[in-house]
Each structure stands twice: as structure tokens, then as C-alpha cells.
């Protein structure tokens, strides 16, 4: 069923250059999806939040005490009708707080049971993820989110176990991940967050756990619609070559697509909160038409289920249409929004390559790449990224990207920059 | 009444021998012949088995045994041994009720992957509540002269994969045994341990005391440090790895009083042919206690950690 425009819980807009040069066969579209503010949908959806806590030996002392207090404080902040559970893992995983409402009774039981959260043992991420998956599987219609916290390397994992377990979690729940301190590996934690529609971040020390969890719980509580899908219908003349989320972070989606029928591709884009906005990039390969010919390139829509019924929200115009022109002034114009995200992606790549160069001791390349990143961040007004870069380089001139590598940079600053490199500044919403 | 141990004759109203304290079993239930609980054997799998026996001197079996094995993603084994406090009424039933409640609670916890130490505490709490909720007069062999409320010891193990979590109240014990290992995992909640550890008495002095066998905690309304209330017992809980080839033995004092050192129990196990199933090993341990006198009910339960897939 298609909702009428007035009550639509989502708004879609497409930004692209509608004119292709003669024989032009490539098109990039930025699709902006925004959830309606206020009550997106008539009835509130059940929400389930599971804490997946690393209780390995390295968490001993302050960290595990801070986690215990923070989880408890977090649960007391939840809506009483939210379902919460706590899973703790070392090389095995166990449930500390069974799934239950976060009401007074649930909070009491959580307070009692969390006393049993003690540090010890090794670290095998898959055990915690798999147990959380089993819990979430009981709530197929709910908004299902997890908070994953570790402080170390996934070193006690049985060979060959992690990947299938993570794969099994895809679509079952979403997971924001945190690494505490600097003894964990960005890549390992990011892999979980990326697969499970979440974000990986760094918590510098135990004292910051509580504020981090508070924000994460608020985020989980705000979600109103679960299991939203981005649907792309294309005619035979179009191939979808790339789908990426570009804001708030750059996330590759192409490989996650499913094809319910030969002309339709679908991508899980998780749960949404009222007012939430995300931008997607679609790269399309089209069969070139003759000059002046109009072609329907793609019909994007957002699909979700509500009370057993599927709803589909489309572009106001319904579709993305291109035409071919000999007017080079028209066809060479790059849509500003497309250009903005091209720049943001370049920025991310420059940071990642720059950090890698620094890591392997290639200071010249690192200086060049991180200088380029400073310039790109400056050009796009991405002040947060500029601030992060300044913890790693001394900036002589941001406009030209003239920088010097800082010495004695903390691991935390480097890890934070790496983690946040894919966080983009949102394209400005003004009519183009 | 003639004492079966020393032959001394006591007045007919006495329930214990005036000379050596042996129970003088006289009620009509005893005369009714063997009971279904006199000798109990359980073996849920080839790697888990146990025996609970009346022994040679007691009129009935106040020990209880409850074993279970289940596949919850991986093999889960639950073992419970309880020993009814003999001076209390309904103790036979208390031990059975406690063992069953513990087993059920641990299995339920395992199904929801509850943290094992937490699961053990909840299980002991469940056992305590179940015994407190027992109506009077449930003993298969009622003993109206017993005046104390019902109570029992408890030792339980929740074994998941290679990890064993042991909880206990009182003086029933758990041991980890292997060809090169003999380890007592529990520490009796006993008067003996308390006075010896505090330095109040030497082990020899304590052993000579009439309190030598007294326990300081029990499951059920029978409480030792309490003035009329029935606070739940405070179990101790330990966890350990159970490696391939290890045996986990749970037993009542009816066994370990005859082999107080872990090494002695290990030796008894070693005397059996390699590969003897846990049920038969348990039988051999119970037989050992009975041939040495069998003055108390005796219960042994054994889990063998086999190489996975073999």
C-alpha cells in the first residue's frame, strides 16, 4: 500500500544532474531520506535493547564497575515499556538480565543481577553477539537495538566462528559499538558496527561510559519504525552499480542488497527515529539514449511494515528521469550535493590513507594526505573533522592544506580520527 | 531397643542409642519393608550417573539425587545432591524437594543462558523456598519425635561445555578428579571447619566433640544462626574448568567420611577399569562406603568429560 503524501512518515528527495552528454551512460543520484518529525506512525512499536558487555579479565577494576553502574543507570532511564536485557561475554557468553520491561521490577532485578557482573576470562566477540541474536529472535516485530562494549582484541575467538555468527546477526538486530580505552582494534569493532547498521566509536576512559550509554539509550528509545528498506526499481536499461549511505556516515551497502524480483533491489536501512535524515548515493549505469530522449533511470522508494501491512513511500515525482543533450554546459554541471559527498568521500579516504602512511613511517605521504584532508575538511566546512585532524597534525594553512605531523600523538586521538573519518557533514538543504 | 552397632539396649522411647548415638529405627514405616528411595540410580547419559543409597545403618534414605542432561546449543549437565538433616522432621522429603527444585531452576537458567553463578544462587534460593513451602507430614516414613523444621544440605553443579559452576550449602561436597588431579572444590559449612580455622580447637579436639558433624547452614526453614526467622542460606559458588578426561564427583558425607582426602577418592576411582561409566563408578563408591560400615546414607554422582565427538 502506498501512503498519501500528506501523512507520509518519510520524505524522499533525489539530487542529480538530469542531463547526460551524448553517449553518457553513468549517473550518480543523491537520495535524501528524512523521517517525519513527531509521530511517524500511528502506534508505537515495541523496542528491545540488549547490552552486550565484554567482561574479560582486562575489564577488571574501574572499567567493570563503571559498566555495571552505567548499565544500571541506563536501564533506569529507559521507558518502562521498553524491553531490556544484559548479555556479558568473555570466551563464553551468559545472560545477566533476562529480557524484561524496564519498569520498577525490571530495574530491581537488573540491580540485583548486575552484581554478578565480574571481570575474568578471555575475549570472543562471537559468543556475545550470538547470544544477543538468540534473544532478539524472539522479537521479530520490534525495534531491535544493541549496545556492544569491548576493551580488547577479539583474541579468544574460535577460528572460523566470528564471520558466520556476525552474518547471522545481520537483519536480526542493529548494534552500535564502543571500544573502551585504546587496547582494542578499530577494524574488528567497526566490522560489527558496519554489518549491523551501527556506528563504532571510542570511549576514552571508564568515566565516560555513563554519558555514552545515556546517549545510546536515548537513540535506541527514539526509534519509531524498525526494519526499513530502501527499494530501487530499475528498468531493464539500468544497472545499479553502487549504493552507499553518505550521511551521517559513509557505509557501503551495495553488497548487502537483495533482489526480491529481477527489476527490484532492496537494502535494509534499519530503524528510524522521527526527524532522522540520511543521504544515500546511487550510481547507475544506463543504456545511452538518443539526444532529447527521456529515460526513467530508477524509481526509489522506502518500504516498511506497520501492523502487518507493508507501506511504500516514493519520491514526490515518483522517479528519476534523465535526458541526453549536446549542450555541454548542461551535461557537465555537477549537482552540488553529489559534489559535496564526492568531496566527503575523498576526505575520508585521505584520512585513512594518511593514517596508514604515518603508521608505516612514510611521513612524506602522511603529511601530503593529511594536509589534503585538512583542506577538504576546511573547504566543506566540516569543522568537527578539522578539530579531529588538528590532534594529529599542526595546521599552518588550512586553505592550502599545509600541515606538519604532530609528534607523540595519543593512540586515542588516532583511533578516534580513524573511526570518525567516515562521518560526513550533511549536504546543506537548499534548493538547487 | 537394641543398638544395631554396639548392641547396647536403650529404653523403647529413645530414637538414638544411649551409648554410641546410632539411630534406633523403630517406627512402623521401617517395618513396612524396603522403600522406593532406599536405592536410587540415575544415568541420563553415558557420561553422567549417580547412586543414592540408604546405607547399612539408617532406616531410610534421607539423601536425594537429581541429574539432568540437555542440549542447549551445547551439552549442559546438571547435578544435585542433597542430604536431609537427620534431626529434623520431613528431611527426606526436604532433600527430594530441594534437589528437584535446584535441578529445575538450573535447567531453566541454562536454557536462557543465564550467568552460571547467578543461576546457582537463584537455584539455591528456589530450593530454599520450595522446602519452606512444604506442608508438614510429607516424609515417606514419618518421624513424629523429630522436633526441628526440615532442612538439608545441597551441592549442585551446572556444567556447560568445559566450564563447571558449583554451589553448595552445608557439608555435601564436590571434587574434581583426574589421573593426575584430586581436588576438593567445596569448603564445608561446618562447625568443625569454623572452630579449627579460627584456631579455637585443634582438628583432633573438634573431631572429638559431639558437634563434630554439625553443619552451619542448611536449605529450608531449619536454620542455625537464626532466631525464629527463615533467612535463605548463603551458598558459596565456585567455577572451574572441566577438561577432557576430568571427572566431577558430587557426594554426601556418607561417602566422604570414609575417604576424607580427595586423593583417597581419586584412588578409589583409579581402582576401577579405565572407561567405567559414571553410573558404575558411583556404584563402586557407594559400595565402598557400605562395606566400610555404611553408617549414613550415601550418595555419589559423577560426570565424565569426554573428548568432544568421541
pLDDT in tens, A251-275: 999 999 999 999 999 999 999 999 9
- The answer for residues whose C-beta is within 8 angstroms of residue A312's C-beta and 6 or more apart is A1, A2, A3, A231, A301, A302, A303
Mean pLDDT of A107-119: 94
Taking residues B105-119, report their average pLDDT.
94
* pTM (predicted TM-score): 0.82
Kindly state the percentage of chain A with pLDDT values over 90. Answer: 85
Average per-residue pLDDT for chain A? 92
Q: Is it the case that residue A398 has pLDDT exceeding 80?
A: yes
pLDDT tens string A188-202: 999 999 999 999 999
Residues of B in contact with A95 (CB under 8 A): 112-115
Q: Which of B117, B121, B161 is closest, CB to CB, to A92?
A: B161
Residue A290, pLDDT > 80, answer: yes
Distant-in-sequence, close-in-space partners of A139: CB < 8 Å, separation ≥ 6:
A46, A48, A83, A99
Residue A4: pLDDT band with limits 50, 70, 90: very low
Give the closest-approach CA distance of B279 to chain A in angstroms. 30
**CA nearest to A128 within chain B:** B113
Q: Which residue of A has its CA nearest to B118?
A: A116
- pLDDT for B31 equals 45
Using a CB–CB cutoff of 8 Å, tell me whether B167 touches chain A: no
Question: Across the interface, do B160 and A95 touch by the CB < 8 Å criterion?
Answer: no
| pLDDT level of residue A305 (50, 70, 90 thresholds) | confident
Residues contacting residue A275 through CB under 8 Å, at least 6 positions apart? A34, A35, A36, A37
HSE (side-chain half, CA atoms, 13 Å) at A52: 32
Q: Using the predicted structure, report yes or no on whether residue B1 has a pLDDT greater than 60.
A: no
State the average pLDDT over residues B258-286.
95
Nearest chain A CA: its distance from B82 CA (Å)? 25
Q: Stretch A394-413: mean pLDDT, rounded?
A: 94
| Mean pLDDT across B215-220 | 91
Interface size A-B, in CB pairs within 8 Å, comes to: 28
Tell which of B115, B158, B159, B167 to mutate to test the A interface (max A CBs under 10 Å): B115
Cβ-based burial of B135 (10 A; exposed 0-12, middle 13-18, buried ≥19)? exposed
- Across the range A223-229, mean pLDDT stands at 92
Find the closest chain B residue to A138 by CA distance.
B112
pLDDT score at B5? 61
Predicted local confidence at residue A432, as pLDDT: 39
Candidate from B112, B121, B163 with C-beta closest to A92:
B163
Among partner residues A113, A116, A131, which is closest to B113 by beta-carbon distance?
A: A131
Chain A interface includes B116 (CB < 8 A): yes
A92 CB neighbours in chain B (<8 A) are: 160-161, 163
Q: Grid coordinates in use for A207?
A: 568515566
| Closest CA–CA distance from residue B156 to any residue of chain A (Å) | 18
Q: Is the pLDDT of residue A303 over 70?
A: yes
**pLDDT greater than 80 at residue B140:** no
Residues of B in contact with A121 (CB under 8 A): none
Q: Which residues of A touch B114 (CB under 8 A)?
A: 94-96, 98
Residues of B in contact with A113 (CB under 8 A): 115, 118
Burial class (CB in 10 A: 0-12, 13-18, 19+), B234: exposed
Pairing of strands B247-251, B298-304: antiparallel
**Confidence band of A367 (pLDDT split at 50, 70, 90):** very high
Residue B117 with chain A: CB contacts under 8 Å: 116
CA angle B105, B111, B113 (to 5 degrees): 100
CA dist A84 and A93 (Å) reads 17
Note whether A98 contacts B114, CB cutoff 8 Å: yes
pLDDT given for residue A5 in this prediction: 45
- Which residue of B lies nearest to A127 if distances are taken between CA atoms? B113
Please indicate whether, in this complex, the C-beta atoms of B112 and A96 are within 8 angstroms of each other. no
Query: Which of A50-59, B222-231, B295-304 bottoms out in mean pLDDT, i.e. has the lowest?
Result: B222-231
- Residue B41: pLDDT band with limits 50, 70, 90: very high
Residue B230: predicted pLDDT: 72
pLDDT in tens, B170-217: 999 999 999 889 999 999 999 999 999 999 999 999 999 888 888 989
Query: In this predicted structure, what is the pLDDT of residue B16?
Result: 58
Averaged over A156-160, what is the pLDDT?
Answer: 93
Least confident of A25-39, A170-184, A334-348, B14-28: B14-28
Average pLDDT of span A53-57: 96
Are the beta carbons of B112 and A92 separated by less than 8 Å? Answer: no
Using an 8 Å CB-CB cutoff, list chain B residues near A116.
115, 117-118, 121
> Which strand ranges, in their side-by-side order, compose the sheet holding A174-180?
A93-101, A83-89, A47-54, A143-150, A174-180, A200-203
At residue A42, the pLDDT reads: 60
Which residues of A sit within 8 Å Cβ distance of B?
A: 87-88, 92-96, 98, 113, 116, 131, 134
Q: What are the φ/ψ torsions at residue A316 (nearest 5 degrees)?
A: -55, -40
Is residue A392 scored above 90 in pLDDT? yes
Is residue B139 over pLDDT 80?
no
Mean of the pLDDT values across residues B28-35?
50
Residue B3 is predicted with a pLDDT of: 62
Inter-axis angle of helices A62-77 and A209-222, nearest 10: 30
User: What pLDDT does residue B42 have?
Assistant: 96
Q: What is the pLDDT of residues A124-135, one digit of tens each?
A: 999 999 999 999
More confident residue, A52 or A430: A52
Local structure of A192: helix, strand or coil: helix
pLDDT band at B136 (very low <50, low <70, confident <90, very high): low
Whole-Å CA distances, B125 to B84, B130, B229:
17, 9, 15
How many other C-beta atoms can be found within 10 angstroms of the C-beta atom of residue A328? 11
Question: For residue A365, which of A351, A379, A375 has the smallest C-alpha distance?
Answer: A351
Residues of B in contact with A131 (CB under 8 A): 113
Closest residue in A to B116 (Cα) is A94
Average pLDDT in the B19-30 region?
51
Closest chain A CA to residue B74: A92
Interface of B with A in 36-65 (CB under 8 A): none
Query: What does DSSP say about strands A264-272 and A258-261: parallel, antiparallel, or unpaired?
Result: antiparallel
Give yes or no for a contact between A199 and A174, defined as CB atoms under 8 angstroms apart. no
Amino acid at each position: 500500500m502506498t501512503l498519501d503524501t500528506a501523512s507520509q512518515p518519510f520524505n524522499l528527495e533525489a539530487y542529480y544532474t538530469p542531463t547526460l552528454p551524448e553517449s553518457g551512460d553513468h549517473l550518480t543520484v543523491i537520495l535524501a531520506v528524512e523521517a517525519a518529525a513527531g509521530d511517524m506512525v500511528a502506534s508505537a512499536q515495541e523496542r528491545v535493547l540488549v547490552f552486550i558487555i565484554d567482561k574479560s579479565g582486562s575489564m577488571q577494576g574501574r572499567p567493570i564497575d563503571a559498566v555495571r553502574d552505567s548499565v544500571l543507570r541506563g536501564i533506569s532511564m529507559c521507558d518502562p515499556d521498553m524491553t531490556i536485557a544484559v548479555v556479558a561475554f568473555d570466551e563464553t557468553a551468559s545472560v545477566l538480565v533476562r529480557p524484561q520491561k524496564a519498569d520498577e521490577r525490571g530495574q530491581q532485578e537488573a540491580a540485583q543481577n548486575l552484581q554478578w557482573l565480574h571481570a575474568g576470562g578471555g575475549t570472543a566477540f562471537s559468543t556475545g553477539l550470538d547470544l544477543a541474536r538468540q534473544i532478539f529472535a524472539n522479537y521479530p516485530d520490534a525495534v531491535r537495538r544493541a549496545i556492544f562494549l569491548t576493551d580488547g582484541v577479539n583474541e579468544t575467538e574460535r577460528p572460523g566462528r566470528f564471520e558466520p555468527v556476525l552474518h547471522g546477526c545481520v537483519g536480526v538486530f542493529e548494534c552500535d559499538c564502543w571500544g573502551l580505552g585504546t587496547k582494542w582494534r578499530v577494524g574488528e569493532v567497526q566490522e560489527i558496527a558496519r554489518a549491523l547498521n551501527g556506528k563504532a566509536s571510542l570511549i576514552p576512559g571508564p568515566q565516560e561510559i555513563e554519558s555514552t550509554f545515556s546517549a545510546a539509550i536515548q537513540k535506541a528509545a527514539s526509534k519509531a519504525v524498525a526494519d526499513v528498506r530502501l527499494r530501487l526499481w530499475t528498468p531493464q536499461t539500468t544497472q545499479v552499480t553502487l549504493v552507499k549511505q553518505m550521511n551521517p556516515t559513509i557505509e557501503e551497502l551495495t553488497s548487502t542488497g537483495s533482489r526480491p524480483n529481477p527489476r527490484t533491489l532492496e537494502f535494509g536501512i534499519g530503524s528510524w527515529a522521527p526527524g532522522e535524515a540520511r543521504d544515500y548515493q546511487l550510481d547507475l549505469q544506463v543504456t545511452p539514449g538518443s539526444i532529447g530522449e527521456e529515460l526513467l533511470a530508477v524509481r526509489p522508494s522506502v518500504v516498511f511494515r506497520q501492523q502487518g501491512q507493508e507501506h511504500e513511500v516514493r519520491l514526490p515525482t515518483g522517479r528519476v528521469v534523465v535526458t541526453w543533450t549536446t549542450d555541454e554546459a548542461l551535461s557537465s554541471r555537477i549537482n552540488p550535493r553529489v559534489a559535496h559527498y564526492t568531496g566527503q568521500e575523498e576526505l575520508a579516504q585521505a584520512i585513512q590513507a594518511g593514517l596508514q602512511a604515518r603508521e608505516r613511517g612514510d611521513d612524506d605521504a602522511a603529511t601530503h594526505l593529511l594536509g589534503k584532508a585538512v583542506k577538504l575538511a576546511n573547504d566543506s566546512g566540516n569543522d568537527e573533522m578539522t578539530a579531529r585532524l588538528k590532534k594529529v597534525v599542526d595546521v599552518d594553512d588550512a586553505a592550502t592544506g599545509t600541515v606538519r605531523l604532530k609528534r607523540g600523538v595519543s593512540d586515542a586521538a588516532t583511533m578516534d580520527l580513524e573511526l570518525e573519518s567516515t562521518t560526513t557533514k550533511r549536504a546543506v538543504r537548499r534548493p538547487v | 531397643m537394641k543398638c544395631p552397632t554396639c548392641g547396647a539396649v536403650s529404653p523403647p522411647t529413645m530414637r538414638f542409642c544411649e551409648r554410641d548415638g546410632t539411630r534406633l529405627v523403630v517406627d512402623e514405616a521401617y517395618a513396612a519393608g524396603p522403600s522406593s528411595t532406599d536405592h536410587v540410580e540415575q544415568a541420563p547419559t553415558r557420561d553422567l550417573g549417580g547412586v543414592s543409597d540408604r546405607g547399612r545403618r539408617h532406616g531410610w534414605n534421607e539423601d536425594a539425587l537429581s541429574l539432568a542432561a540437555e542440549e542447549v546449543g551445547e551439552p549442559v549437565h546438571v547435578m544435585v545432591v542433597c542430604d536431609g538433616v537427620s534431626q529434623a522432621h520431613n528431611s527426606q522429603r526436604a532433600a527430594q524437594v530441594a534437589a528437584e527444585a535446584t535441578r529445575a531452576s538450573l535447567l531453566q537458567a541454562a536454557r536462557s543462558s543465564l550467568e552460571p553463578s547467578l543461576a546457582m544462587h537463584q537455584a539455591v534460593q528456589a530450593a530454599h523456598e520450595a522446602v519452606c513451602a512444604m506442608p508438614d507430614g510429607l516424609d515417606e516414613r514419618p518421624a513424629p519425635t523429630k522436633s526441628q523444621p526440615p532442612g538439608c544440605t545441597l551441592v549442585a553443579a551446572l556444567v556447560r561445555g568445559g566450564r563447571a559452576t558449583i554451589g553448595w550449602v552445608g557439608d555435601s561436597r564436590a571434587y574434581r578428579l583426574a589421573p593426575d588431579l584430586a581436588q576438593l572444590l567445596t569448603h564445608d559449612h561446618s562447625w568443625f571447619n569454623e572452630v579449627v580455622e579460627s584456631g579455637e580447637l585443634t582438628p583432633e579436639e573438634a573431631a572429638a566433640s559431639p558437634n563434630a558433624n554439625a553443619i552451619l547452614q542448611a536449605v529450608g526453614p531449619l536454620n542455625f544462626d537464626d532466631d525464629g526467622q527463615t533467612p535463605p542460606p548463603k551458598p558459596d559458588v565456585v567455577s572451574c574448568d572441566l577438561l577432557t578426561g576430568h571427572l566431577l564427583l558430587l557426594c554426601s558425607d556418607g561417602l566422604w567420611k570414609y575417604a576424607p582426602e580427595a586423593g583417597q577418592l581419586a584412588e578409589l576411582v583409579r581402582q576401577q577399569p579405565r572407561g567405567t561409566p559414571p553410573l558404575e563408578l558411583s556404584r563402586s563408591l557407594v559400595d565402598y562406603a557400605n562395606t566400610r560400615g555404611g553408617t549414613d546414607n550415601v550418595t555419589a554422582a559423577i560426570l565424565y568429560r569426554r573428548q568432544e565427538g568421541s
